[in-house]
Amino acid sequence: MFGSVLVANRGEIARRVIRSARRMGIRAIAVYSEADAGLPYVAEADEAVPIGPAPAARSYLDVRAVLGAARTTGAAAIHPGYGFLAENAGFAAEVIGAGLTWVGPPPAAIEQMGDKINARNLMERAGVPVAAGSREPVADVAAALAEAERIGYPVMIKAAAGGGGIGMSAAGSEAELTAGFATARTRAERFFGSSDILLERYIERARHVEVQILGLNDGRVLALGERDCSVQRRHQKVAEETPSPGITPQLRARMLAAASRAGEAVAYRGAGTVECLVDTQAQDFVFLEMNTRLQVEHPITEMVTGLDLVEQQLLIADGGDVSFAPDSVRAAGHAVELRVYAEDPRRFLPSPGVITEWSEPSGPGVRVDAGYTVGNEVTPYYDPLLAKLCVHGDDRDQVLRRARAAVADFHIRGPKTNLAFHTELLDSDEFASGRYDTSVVARLRP
Amino acid sequence: MAEVRAEMVANVWQVVASEGDSVAEGDTLVILESMKMEIPVLVEDPGTLTKLAVAEGDVVQEGDLIAVIE
């Protein structure tokens, strides 16, 4: 096993990776920007290196700075977390080229899945269902209108190189498409450095359900169950649960099999996620995209399977076997993750600031993955995720009861947080019934 | 005279309006960015934009002056 790993990330996910690495006896090295020097992950690492000023482009996204830190600390491996450089195939190739171990899938798999148009075409060929949509980039508004005519309205406008819900919008008419196309192009260029746009048939009243996969070194791709991520605001996830209350065992079996095929089609290694949209009426699904890295909401899969997914990533990256018998994974009980964001609970607008009180809940089945603690400043430079409140139990009812108590017992002062929204969500008839879809937040906030 | 102030700590991503513009309710003055979200600052009281106190790339604190409309 390699002796050290540099975590090229910040906040809760850096802390999460450092925890598993240290437990396995691997020296954990953190990197941090000027804005993050006081965060818990920096203190918990065996060694921590400053890599630049607050803006991500000059620190966490600076390939030279990250590789320089790896060189000076003698790191043997790099774990990218999620976001930042995690799905940058060029960075992965440079890590490998520098003689280090890359804790992630082969660069070719990242590249194939990174372009959403290419990924759709690849999945279609592998027998994974995709929604009606673009097979090549849509060049201009005229081409978009023609393409939408073929696909049928409403359509979703997406950045081919995109992710995280940024720049996505739905269009129900030619006028909306004309307006939305220009905005999407500008945002795609700004956030992802490529203005390639694709259109996809927009499925209304759908659920967003994803499958956790794990590619082993013998070529097998395991499907470790699904996560329902339908609770979203601005196309970004707010709460997730497993198992999904909206799919039948038959549909689950088909989705898991398709997710394995998707991974095999790109010779996947390590942890990844196949995102799908589910039409609950028809009990059918289509491929959405594949995230070639550890997912934010991975803890709920860990809670029901009993596996440490970061440990498996490190073992696979080292070329070895995973810690469990691949045919023996069984999910037990139910789990929910609530994302605690620094934002007001009404309009979900960002709320940076200094944390003056921080008190986490605890108890049976409760796990908190936090990036901050009292005294830290939440700055405007990065995403608003403060912590992930994860709750496990025997069944959904018990989990929702435990989650309500845990939310009430989580005390944060300083920045505004969305904890009050989580209380509302857990108490809503729609969420409690399990019969919700991706519009549930919009219905709670008309 | 109406002063437009920042509602939160943010980076100034884009300055849309210019000093001397006559602006109407709902027009975008500047677009702030905080936590990977774009937040347009809109005109509430119509008039003439007599002062723009920020430039692209600036960091504003909560309560900082962004613009004056008369």
Q: What whole-number distance in Å separates Cα of residue A142 and Cα of residue A330?
A: 51
Interchain proximity A350–B7, CB inside 8 Å: no
pLDDT attached to residue A16: 98
pLDDT attached to residue B21: 95
Q: Is A239 helix (H, G, I), strand (E, B) or coil?
A: strand
pLDDT attached to residue A88: 95
Give Dmax over CA atoms of chain B in angstroms. Answer: 32
- Distance in angstroms between the alpha carbons of the first and the last residue of chain B: 4
Give this complex's ipTM.
0.75
Alpha carbon A298 to its chain's center: 8
pLDDT attached to residue A418: 98
Answer yes or no: are the C-beta atoms of A92 and A104 closer than 8 Å: yes
- Could you list the mean pLDDT of each consecutive 10-residue stretch along chain B, which spans 70 residues? 91 92 93 88 94 93 94
- pLDDT band, residue A403 (cuts 50/70/90): very high
pLDDT attached to residue A115: 92
Amino acid at A20: S
> In chain A, whose CA is at the least distance from the CA of B13?
A190
Amino acid at A444: L
pLDDT attached to residue B8: 85
The residues that bridge with A236 in the sheet, in sequence order, are A233
Interchain proximity B9–A384, CB inside 8 Å: no
The larger pLDDT score, comparing residue A428 to residue B39, is at A428
Interchain proximity A380–B7, CB inside 8 Å: no
Answer yes or no: are the C-beta atoms of A178 and A128 closer than 8 Å: no
Which of B9, B42, B56 would you mutate first to test chain A, the one with the most A CBs within 10 A? B9
> In chain A, whose CA is at the least distance from the CA of B37?
A350
pLDDT, mean of residues A411-431: 98
Nearest partner of A360 among A350, A369, A349, A352, judged by Cα: A369
Q: What whole-number distance in Å separates Cα of residue A349 and Cα of residue A225?
A: 33
Computed over every residue of chain A, the mean pLDDT equals 96
Specify the length of chain B in residues. Answer: 70
Interchain proximity A353–B33, CB inside 8 Å: no
The residues that bridge with A32 in the sheet, in sequence order, are A50
pLDDT attached to residue A406: 98
Nearest partner of B13 among A83, A187, A184, judged by Cα: A187
pLDDT attached to residue A219: 97
Query: B16-36 pLDDT, tens per residue?
Result: 999 999 999 999 999 998 888
Which of B13, B35, B59 would you mutate first to test chain A, the one with the most A CBs within 10 A? B35
Residue A388: which H helix or E strand, with range? Answer: strand A385-393
Rounded to the nearest angstrom, the minimum Cα separation between B67 and chain A is 21
pLDDT, mean of residues A414-434: 98
pLDDT attached to residue B20: 95
Structure tokens at A158: 């997406």
Chain A CB within 8 Å of residue B35 CB: yes
Residue A190 has pLDDT above 90, yes or no: no
Q: Which residues have CB under 8 Å from B60's CB, separation 6+?
A: B6, B9, B10, B11, B12, B32, B54, B66
Query: A18-55 pLDDT, tens per residue?
Result: 999 999 999 999 999 999 999 999 999 999 999 999 99
Residue A187 has pLDDT above 90, yes or no: no
Give the one of A342, A380, A384 whose C-beta lies nearest to B11's C-beta: A380
pLDDT attached to residue A235: 85
User: Residue B53: what are its φ and ψ, rounded to 5°?
Assistant: -95, 0
pLDDT attached to residue A24: 98
Answer yes or no: are the C-beta atoms of A246 and A275 closer than 8 Å: no
Chain A CB within 8 Å of residue B8 CB: yes
The percent of residues above 90 in pLDDT, for chain A, comes to: 93
Residue A166 has pLDDT above 80, yes or no: no
pLDDT attached to residue A26: 98
Chain A CB within 8 Å of residue B19 CB: no
Residue A157 has pLDDT above 80, yes or no: yes
- Say if strands B65-69 and B47-52 run parallel, antiparallel, or are unpaired: antiparallel
Residue A230: which H helix or E strand, with range? Answer: strand A221-233
Q: Which residues have CB under 8 Å from A383's CB, separation 6+?
A: A83, B35, B36
Q: What whole-number distance in Å separates Cα of residue B43 and Cα of residue B2?
A: 10
Interchain proximity A350–B8, CB inside 8 Å: yes
Give the one of B33, B39, B59 whose C-beta lies nearest to A349's C-beta: B39
Q: Is-catalytic flag, A293?
A: yes
Chain A CB within 8 Å of residue B11 CB: yes
Residue A160 has pLDDT above 80, yes or no: yes
pLDDT attached to residue B36: 80
> With contacts defined as CB-CB under 8 Å, which chain A residues touch B8?
349-352, 380
Give the one of B8, B11, B59 whose C-beta lies nearest to A351's C-beta: B8
pLDDT, mean of residues A160-188: 88
Residue A348 has pLDDT above 90, yes or no: yes
pLDDT attached to residue A252: 97
Chain B CB within 8 Å of residue A349 CB: yes
pLDDT attached to residue A194: 87
Chain A CB within 8 Å of residue B50 CB: no
pLDDT, mean of residues A125-143: 94
Q: What whole-number distance in Å separates Cα of residue A379 and Cα of residue A88?
A: 25
Alpha carbon A91 to its chain's center: 19
Q: What whole-number distance in Å separates Cα of residue B7 and Cα of residue B41?
A: 9
Structure tokens at B18: 């210019």
